[in-house]
Amino acid sequence: MSIKKPKSVDTILLALIVLMVAGGFLIFSSASLGLMARDGVSFGSVAFN
């Protein structure tokens, strides 16, 4: 019988996912701040509609 090693996390894939999520958040924040500055809309109306 061989002892199975626990599965390791693919660090490159994890780093790519974290970078993509962070980049998406930055793009969304930039767009919502632009709408708030131009039209005076609230953040909640941008985020939840």
Of the pLDDT bands very low, low, confident and very high (cuts 50, 70, 90), residue 2 is confident
Give pLDDT tens digits for 20-45. Answer: 999 999 999 898 888 878 877 776 77
Q: Do residues 33 and 47 make contact, with C-beta atoms less than 8 angstroms apart?
A: no
Can you give the pTM of this predicted structure?
Answer: 0.62
Q: Distance (Å, rounded) from C-alpha 11 to C-alpha 8?
A: 9
- The residues, ordered by sequence, that sit 6+ positions from 36 with a Cβ below 8 Å of its Cβ are 42, 43, 46
pLDDT at 19 over 90: yes
Q: Over 70: is that where the pLDDT of 46 sits?
A: no
